[in-house]
Amino acid sequence: AQSVAQPEDQVNVAEGNPLTVKCTYSVSGNPYLFWYVQYPNRGLQFLLKYITGDNLVKGSYGFEAEFNKSQTSFHLKKPSALVSDSALYFCAVRDMSGGYQKVTFGTGTKLQVIP
């Protein structure tokens, strides 16, 4: 069975500082990993994905994520936070081995960027 954990319910960061939102996963085979963002009263929006290849993945709005196979992590990062980055962030994983596997979402991390 696959799973994903977001250990922090909320992350607070000052505007202009770097931000990190943590995600760890568990799969039996190779993972596909995704980050989504959700703004109030909106659906989830895709930010970036890791499929294979370069461990540093760049996505929308200046976000990037680092895939670490040994630590089974896929942390979301941004060099300089904006107030408009304040939102709910979801990590998701799909195990690509052994037939169909649904996408499993984490419980979400609320990012608060303080002016």
Partner 1 sequence: NAGVTQTPKFQVLKTGQSMTLQCAQDMNHNSMYWYRQDPGMGLRLIYYSASEGTTDKGEVPNGYNVSRLNKREFSLRLESAAPSQTSVYFCASSLRQDSNQPQHFGDGTRLSIL
Q: Where are the beta strands (DSSP E) in the chain?
A: 3-5, 10-14, 19-21, 24-26, 31-38, 44-50, 56-58, 64-68, 73-78, 87-95, 104-105, 109-114
Please report where in the chains the tokens 């936070």 appear, as a residue: 81
Nearer Cβ to partner 1 (19/93): 93
From 15-23, 38-46, 62-70, 76-84, give the range in contact with partner 1 by CB under 8 A.
Answer: 38-46
Q: How near is the Cβ of 100 to partner 1 at its closest, in Å?
A: 6
Give the interface with partner 1 as residue ranges (CB under 8 A).
9, 32, 34, 36, 41-46, 49, 51, 90, 94, 96, 100, 102-103, 105-108
